[in-house]
Amino acid sequence: MSISRISLPENFVDVTSAKLLAQPEPQYVFASLFLSAIGASLPIPSNIGLDGRQPPSAGSAYPSANKDTLRLASELPGSLFALGIDFGKTSGSTVRVNRPAFSDTTYTADSRKVATGQTISTTPITIGSEQTHLVLERYAGPYDQANSRVAPYAIESFDANMGLVSASSMVGSHLSRDFHKFLDGVHVSLGNGGTSIYPEGMSADNDATTDGSFPLTVEQLSRTEQLMDEASLPKLADGKRVFVCTAKQWKQLKHDPEYAANSHEHPEFNILFTSYKSTVGGFHVFVSESLSKTANGSSVAVHKGIALAPGGFMGGMGRAPRVASSTDDNYGETAKAVWIADLAFGIADSRFFRSVRSA
């Protein structure tokens, strides 16, 4: 028998490379918008654990989960949020925000004309007001899916001293990724609450019985712009709004024959926004694969893009996001860590959003 791994396994040793491969990750657009709007981030310590009790940090560095994430350096993030509350400078955990509620009456010349000798009524009428609120809550992660609870990552000090990759940097990267994906998921859920806009011929999610039967079109996006204009929703300083879609929706839009005549590029966004694709009609279009894709009754994935006007989101922060270590660390032998943040999420008005759907 020839010498081989099978006949003489003792002669062969498997080696694990310290070099790590890239893990494809979507860019969490809404997480970046929120953090930019409230001026926050999650600082990751170089060593996880209580001061003086951190495990060894032997091994090479683990890649940052957010090294390729969206960097926002313009007026876009702040303008998409109606307000950002610093709860550290307020009392209580709830901030109530008012907005006027205007009543329409009669607006003809005859109805307002005051004839000679006519007495103007002295009985006052009321004005209206609407109110929403923003509530500060404590959030933490990561999440133990099997047991439905927040739970820590843990590092065993004995083993951390002998690893190829630094256990602390590994945990830090995973904490950062979980934090950003949580923020993004919250805001995607809030954005999905807008009125649904479907392609022509489709009026409900279950109308799509085959994949690709109702693609996103320029007409659909134009109709969304019209409805938002009719609702008198605000625009960015350049007269545009924002539309975030999935990669499939972007492909469908590009293949619409009307796309070429209705699109152009925005030079500033091309440089600053990795997820920016084009400006189509009244929208700057961004792509995010963290948006919702829900299977309908025919098992066809309905993609839910989000069209939003400036001032739609609200956000707030109390204590800044941080990595916290548990005192239950087995005499310093098992470091445990979670991220914790006091944050507030909300929408100023659901009318500022449209759920642009396709299949």
- pLDDT reported for residue 95: 87
Q: Find the helix or strand (DSSP H, E) in which 334 lies.
A: strand 334-347
- pLDDT reported for residue 71: 46
Q: What is the dihedral of CA 197, 200, 201, 204, to 10 degrees?
A: -10
User: What is the three-class DSSP state of 289?
Assistant: coil
- pLDDT reported for residue 297: 94
Indicate the range of 161-165, 290-294, 318-322 predicted with least confidence: 161-165
Q: Find the helix or strand (DSSP H, E) in which 173 lies.
A: helix 167-191
Q: Write out pLDDT tens, residues 101-113.
A: 888 999 999 999 9
How distant, in Å, are the alpha carbons of 244, 246, 278 from that of 192? 11, 13, 22
In CATH, the number for domain 196-310+351-358 is: 3.30.1930
**Nearest residue to 352 via CA among 321, 306, 316, 287:** 306
Mean pLDDT for 74-93 is 75
**Domain residues of the chain, as ranges?**
26-92+132-189+315-347, 196-310+351-358
277 vs 11 pLDDT, higher one: 277
9 vs 331 pLDDT, higher one: 331
Q: What is the dihedral of CA 105, 108, 110, 115, to 10 degrees?
A: 70
Q: Find the helix or strand (DSSP H, E) in which 283 lies.
A: strand 283-287
Q: Is the pLDDT of residue 196 over 80?
A: yes
Question: Which residues, other chains included, contact 96 with Cβ-Cβ below 8 Å and sequence gap of 6+?
Answer: 131, 132, 133
The answer, yes or no, to whether the previous bond of 100 is cis (omega within 30 of 0) is no
The DSSP symbol for 291 reads S
Q: Is the pLDDT of residue 73 over 60?
A: no
- pLDDT reported for residue 69: 47
Any idea what the Cα angle at residue 346 is, between residues 340 and 351, rounded to 5°? 160
Spatial separation of the C-alpha atoms in residues 65 and 23, rounded to whole Å = 9
Note whether 58 and 161 are within 8 A (CB): yes
- pLDDT reported for residue 343: 95
Mean pLDDT for 30-51 is 87
How many CA atoms are closer than 13 Å to the CA of 16, on its beta-carbon side? 8
Q: Write out pLDDT tens, residues 43-70.
A: 988 888 888 888 877 666 766 766 544 4
Q: Write out pLDDT tens, residues 152-161.
A: 999 998 888 8
Q: Categorize the per-residue pLDDT at 128 as very low, low, confident or very high, splitting at 50, 70 and 90.
A: confident
Q: How many residues does the chain have?
A: 359
Mean pLDDT for 301-308 is 96
What is the DSSP track for 245-257? Answer: E-HHHHHHHHTST
- pLDDT reported for residue 89: 75
Residue 256, amino acid: D
Spatial separation of the C-alpha atoms in residues 7 and 126, rounded to whole Å = 93
Instruction: For the chain, give the mean pLDDT.
Output: 86
Q: Categorize the per-residue pLDDT at 76 as very low, low, confident or very high, splitting at 50, 70 and 90.
A: low
Spatial separation of the C-alpha atoms in residues 27 and 325, rounded to whole Å = 28
Mean pLDDT for 118-135 is 90
Spatial separation of the C-alpha atoms in residues 126 and 112, rounded to whole Å = 18
Q: Categorize the per-residue pLDDT at 328 as very low, low, confident or very high, splitting at 50, 70 and 90.
A: very high
Note whether 291 and 303 are within 8 A (CB): yes
Note whether 259 and 253 are within 8 A (CB): yes
Q: Write out pLDDT tens, residues 213-255.
A: 999 999 999 999 999 999 999 998 889 999 999 999 999 999 9
Token pair belonging to 53? 């009790």
Spatial separation of the C-alpha atoms in residues 69 and 176, rounded to whole Å = 12
Residue 219's φ and ψ, nearest 5 degrees, are: -60, -40
- pLDDT reported for residue 210: 94
Mean pLDDT for 133-146 is 95
pTM above 0.95, yes or no: no
> Which stretches within 48-91 are classed as H helix?
76-79
Task: Report the percentage of the chain scoring pLDDT > 90.
Answer: 54
Highest mean pLDDT among 16-25, 31-40, 82-91, 194-203: 194-203
Token pair belonging to 25? 């990750």
Q: Categorize the per-residue pLDDT at 77 as very low, low, confident or very high, splitting at 50, 70 and 90.
A: low
- pLDDT reported for residue 70: 44
